[in-house]
A and B are shown apart, each in its own frame.
Chain A
Amino acid sequence: GAVVSQHPSRVICKSGTSVKIECRSLDFQATTMFWYRQFPKQSLMLMATSNEGSKATYEQGVEKDKFLINHASLTLSTLTVTSAHPEDSSFYICSARVGGTEAFFGQGTRLTVV
């Protein structure tokens, strides 16, 4: 299957700083990328959907000014958590899709804000 690489896998940052997470489709061009957030022992919650070259569509309740998503190319999407706070600590997972309905998931990024 197609490979989606997410980087970094773990990151610890200080409260008030920003952190960027990258999601790359390695062997295919992704027309659509999705970002999810998962709190401990909970399900994956869709944060936003991004199509290459256009603004991301955020789910209700997700602050777009806090979670900046850029999908500048068909193989790269980035999620920047701005002015991170401890409550932003979570597991973030991206997925990428090329047409169709099947998406391929990255390995996830565990963010800890201290």
Chain B
Amino acid sequence: AQKVTQAQTEISVVEKEDVTLDCVYETRDTTYYLFWYKQPPSGELVFLIRRNSFDEQNEISGRYSWNFQKSTSSFNFTITASQVVDSAVYFCALSAGDTTSGTYKYIFGTGTRLKVLA
């Protein structure tokens, strides 16, 4: 079975604090892809990062960083020095092969609502 778990339903932080959003995934595929998306109130999904299962290098992009650890099946996302504009729902997603159809499907976690208070 393929599954993405985002245990944190909602997080509130004060501006300038660092915050880490957790993501744990399950898949039996050896080749898979992990994503993070931001969904502001407008609803549009904003792509943040894509990681394939063979690349465990952590990545930093400005205030954003990602920690991919296959040993714990986790792909956590950290925002440094958070800002009010970071307030949104963040989704972690897994793309892996579906054994029934052979199609790669996206499986989304339940999302973490981040509120950054001024």
In the complex, chain B residues 34-68 whose Cβ is within 8 Å of any chain A Cβ? 37, 42-45, 47, 50
Instruction: Report if A43-B91 is in contact (Cβ < 8 Å); known contacts: A49-B103, A57-B101.
Output: yes
- Contact residue among B42, B44, B95, B109 (Cβ-Cβ distance under 8 Å from A43): B109
Residues of B within 8 A of A104 (CB): 47
Is chain B's interface secondary structure helix, strand, loop, or mixed overall? strand
How many chain-B residues does the 8 Å CB contact rule pick out?
21
Residues of A within 8 A of B45 (CB): 93, 105, 108
User: In the complex the two chains form, is A43's CB within 8 Å of B111's CB?
Assistant: yes
Range for the number of chain A residues in contact with chain B: 20 to 34
User: In the complex the two chains form, is B50's CB within 8 Å of A102's CB?
Assistant: yes
Give A residues with C-beta under 8 Å from B.
Answer: 1, 32, 34, 38, 41-44, 46, 49, 57, 91, 93, 95, 97, 101-105, 107-108, 110
6 pairs of A and B residues whose beta carbons are closest in the complex: A108-B43, A105-B45, A101-B104, A43-B110, A107-B44, A44-B108
